[in-house]
Amino acid sequence: MRGGQIKHLSSFYIIQSILIILFPLNTQSLSFNYTDALTKSLLYFEAQRSGHLPYNQRVKWRGHSGLTDGLQQGVDLVGGYYDAGDHVKFGLPMAFTVTMLSWSVIEFGEEIAAAGEYQHAMEAIKWGTDYFIKAHTHPYILWAEVGDGDTDHYCWQRPEDMTTSRQAYKIDRDNPGSDLAGETAAAMAAASIVFKELNPHYSHLLLHHAQQLFEFGDKYRGEYDASVEEVRSYYASVSGYRDELLWAALWLHRATGLDDYLEYVVENADSMGGNGWAMIEFSWDVKYAGLQILATKLLLNGEHHETHKQVLEQYKSKADYYICACLGKNNGSNVDRSPGGMLYIRQWNNLQYVSSSAFLLTVYYEYLNAVQQQELLCPDGPVRTDELFALAKTQADYILGANPMKMSYMVGFGSKYPTKVHHRGASIVSYKESNGFIGCTQGFDDWFGRDWENPNVLVGAIVGGPNCEDKFRDDRGNYMQTEACTYNTAPMVGVFAKLNQLADKPAKDILSRTSYTFGQM
């Protein structure tokens, strides 16, 4: 038995008792197969692949696409991921997706392996990092985007039929993008940790690129959407670039152990907002809560010089703010909840925030448990660490079907899920069944407006999800709710793996602590 397993088992039953008290209708009437959820979440990334698909491609309705990407600019940009239901390759959300996949494997690799999904997780990460290596063609050049959102959205085509512009856009010394460079550095540094044992040469290559990209982003500062105007309507960098630079430095410190990167995080804590910004969201744009939790891990484990302690404690106070806000214990400055218990940030694609919060709650629970910290002090009183994972579980279960609609918002999971997902490839007959060319507007005429289920199931995709009243309309044109994104699913890889590991254990010993209940929410 792995060390600490008895403690984790008892914690799981404590969590279950907490859930019975708090969410008797939403979470206790359903039991979920987390292995299946994990398997399907990783399968989804194969449906989002761009480029020349490998022989072991499991999503059979997809084919090769984007095979001339970068050709006009004289660079090979074939590969990578489409972010959502269209065919633009946006660098910032793609990098965040890879960072979150890597973080999932770093923290929950054993659990992913126990479910038989480790190889698929590695493949999902490498599909992204292979592309980033191609896109980083010079120490001070990173290709930021392939395709144009405006022209792409005028067409409804399969990726295999694309006739839209494949113009590529870059950042460089004269046109900087510190946020994009920083997030890509974070992704490659995190991935270098994942590959360190199994493929040390590849790990070293990733780390080399990560260090160069961090230097690029820090030396030539600016927001990438000022340099690549085409991205502003889709992935504007509202939070700026300072969070990404701190985020990248923390991942590089974790990957290398070099004090210089930690010094950067400490010395720039004030000027870059690391110990100033108190956030209630964590996303492809806003990294503060994530980096604050990473910094807290260093504090909890004593992985720092004494001179860093005070600043790291300030980082921890902001990490606690985020967690307490999710728990509803933050003196009124809390994350909203729907009547059904879903954490709610905003109308468009809210489940991205649900999945990212579930991950941070889970990983912070792990960090606190590792140092045997039983309570977290929130403004509204002490909270047992088990409550963090209990909330993460309710959010995961909400996604899988424990919600007022009784619908799984993961496509292909369970018996009821969205069938009219806003996704070009899934909504049009596979070219393998009908290889006749489908033109730009023909797709709108013949496929987009059909009130039928999509011919291809986008298995593992987590859609945007319901509104603040738990209402959801399954309609292809309702893109705010029915479009899925890679960064919705990526954080759930780690969460599902952890849930599966705990749920799969036989009942052993329910300690007296299981009588513990939440305070008033």
Write b or e for each residue in 356-378: b if 16 or more Cβ atoms lie within 10 A of its Cβ, otherwise e. bbbbbbbbbbbbbbeeeeeebeb
Q: In this structure, what DSSP letter does residue 287 have?
A: -
Contacts of residue 494, defined as CB under 8 A and 6 or more positions apart, other chains included, come to 100, 103, 104, 105, 107, 108, 112, 359, 362, 363
Contact 333/280 with Cβ under 8 angstroms?
yes
CB atoms within 10 A of CB 202: 18
Write b or e for each residue in 125-136: b if 16 or more Cβ atoms lie within 10 A of its Cβ, otherwise e. bbbbbbbbebbb
Pair of tokens at residue 479: 């893109």
Annotated active-site residue in 209, 253, 304, 422: 422
Q: How far is CA 441 from CA 62, 157, 223, 480, 496, in A?
A: 20, 8, 34, 22, 39
How many Å apart are CA 397 and CA 417, to the nearest integer? 14
- Whether 8 is a known active-site residue: answer no
CB atoms within 10 A of CB 199: 15
Helix (H, G, I), strand (E, B) or coil at 173: coil
How many Å apart are CA 131 and CA 29, to the nearest integer? 43
Q: How far is CA 465 from CA 45, 172, 348, in A?
A: 19, 37, 9
How many Å apart are CA 92 and CA 100, to the nearest integer? 12
How many Å apart are CA 468 and CA 466, to the nearest integer? 7
Dihedral sign for Cα 448, 146, 241, 192, please.
Answer: positive
268: left (phi > 0), else alpha (psi -120 to 50), else beta? alpha
How many Å apart are CA 509 and CA 13, to the nearest integer? 9
**Chain Cα centroid distance, residue 428:** 27
Nearest to 467 by CA among 394, 416, 421, 409: 409
Nearest to 350 by CA among 424, 292, 409: 409
Pair of tokens at residue 134: 């191609």
CB atoms within 10 A of CB 257: 10
List active site positions: 422
